[in-house]
Amino acid sequence: MIEDLFVNLCILITLLFTYLQIRWKCRTEEMYSLKWKWLDGIAAGTMGNVLMYFSIPVNSETIVDLRYIPIMLTFLFLGVYPSVVSSILIILGRFIFGVNVSSLAALFLILFIFAGFYLIVRSVTSVLKRTVAMVVHANIMFSIILLMIIPDWESIYLLILLYWLLSAAGGFASMFFVKYIMKSHYLLAKYETESGTDFLTGLSNTRQFSDRWAALILNAKQKNESISLLMIDIDYFKFVNDTYGHPAGDLVLKELGQLLKHSVRSFDIVSRNGGEEFSVILLDSSHQKAAQMAEEIRSAVEAYRFKLSPEVSISITISIGIATFPDKVKDSEQMKAAADKCLYKAKQSGRNKVCM
């Protein structure tokens, strides 16, 4: 009995791990849509049916397993809708094993468990407290239903006792396992995002710029489109840091990053390449269009007042170098070098300029 329930628990953990890994690979930035609610509910229902397949037979009609745990997990982490789907699938799956008194009892067992879980979720906020209440409720329902089917306490009390112990262990182990996997996935996604994001401005950093640049150049070649690169540098930024302090300089960098984002199209890519240097990748943009947008950016920055404190606000200027493939630069490998060369020329010829 203990070995069989332990196997049931191992199967459940294996299924949970496999599905959560697949689900992570298929993650989406969209809100939790109806499609995913259906898929998660079907997955949980399938897990319950697999657990029934590896169940422990008590007699010719009655089987014991941990099928309630997938329903509990959907209530804890996904909501009511997937729980309804999983419960229906588990009920239908039980009748595959035969239509008899035990399957009808199992139907009422799942219904009572579902109703209790719903009330627990509505009245208890803590995940741990919900788990305790759900495990106790499911075990009580199981004991009552089993006694109704086999009204002989002396012959089944050991079965009920062992089921309570393994059910509690399985319920808590599954809850903590899912929490651990979800937290690990969340941290991984967070670190993936942060690894390509500049910590100060929230823009793409040099690493993400390089990763995107290669793919965007390839895409432009395949579609026979022009792509332009603006390299931008703040003029006399050291003076800002020396005069007003580095916190004020950081404020200027953050506000400039937002100003650049609002000055280009939503699909253009703004990056902070380090220090006071920024870049803008203009997709499907000719050299003439890039020059016009660069001049608009330069004018917008020159007119903007950076408020360092309630009493102090300053103006800054920027220099911009432009390179466009294939209008002006035929070798895509030379794009960054060409834009940097134009930026250097703008700095050397007086700053606050756009150089092509």
pTM: 0.64
pLDDT 10s digit of each residue in the chain, 356 long? 667 777 878 888 898 888 888 887 776 545 567 888 899 999 999 999 998 888 777 777 677 888 899 999 999 999 999 999 999 999 999 888 778 888 888 899 999 999 999 999 999 999 999 999 999 999 999 999 888 888 777 777 888 888 898 889 889 999 999 999 888 888 887 777 667 788 889 888 888 888 888 888 888 888 888 999 999 999 999 999 999 999 999 999 999 999 999 999 989 999 998 889 999 999 999 999 999 999 999 999 999 999 998 889 999 999 999 999 988 888 878 889 999 999 999 999 999 999 98
Q: Distance between CA atoms of 89 and 42, rounded to whole angstroms?
A: 7
Token pair 């916190």 in the structure block, residue = 247
Q: Are 325 and 220 in contact (CB under 8 A)?
A: yes
* Per-residue CA distances from 355 to 78, 93, 164, 295, 303 (Å): 55, 71, 76, 10, 19
Tokens 């979800």 belong to which residue? 182
Q: Write the DSSP assignment of 5-69 as a string of letters.
A: HHHHHHHHHHHHHHHHHHHHHT--SS---HHHHHHHHHHHHHHHHHHHHT-EESSSS-EE--THH
Q: Give the E-state strand segments of 244-290 in sequence order.
A: 269-274, 277-282
Q: Is residue 73 a contact partner of residue 180, using CB atoms and an 8 Å limit?
A: no
